[in-house]
Amino acid sequence: MTSEQEITEYTKVKELFSAAIELAPEERTTFLEKNCTQENVRREVESLLEMRAEAGEFLEGVSAVKSIEDSFGKNDKFIG
């Protein structure tokens, strides 16, 4: 079962990740420092950003939000 806290964290990860991918890579650290106070949420966003960068063009055209939702829905846990 998913707790209210997990849903809140999931929502925050989704929002931060979606905003961060719109920024230049060199702006993302500052963005997360200013907008993310929860260490576990920040680590999750950073992990998603790293995976996206490693995947390169493989994920072009794939919705980041949809990817997170699919992963979360399968096992009630964040990616990573």
| Tens-place pLDDT, residues 14-28 | 999 999 999 999 999
Neighbours of 35 (CB within 10 A): 15
pLDDT at 13 over 90: yes
Q: In which element (H, E) is residue 43 found?
A: helix 39-55
pLDDT at 75 over 60: no
| pTM of the model as a whole | 0.66
At 78 the pLDDT is 53
Task: Quick: pLDDT tens for 38-73.
Answer: 999 999 999 999 988 887 766 566 666 666 666 665
At 1 the pLDDT is 45
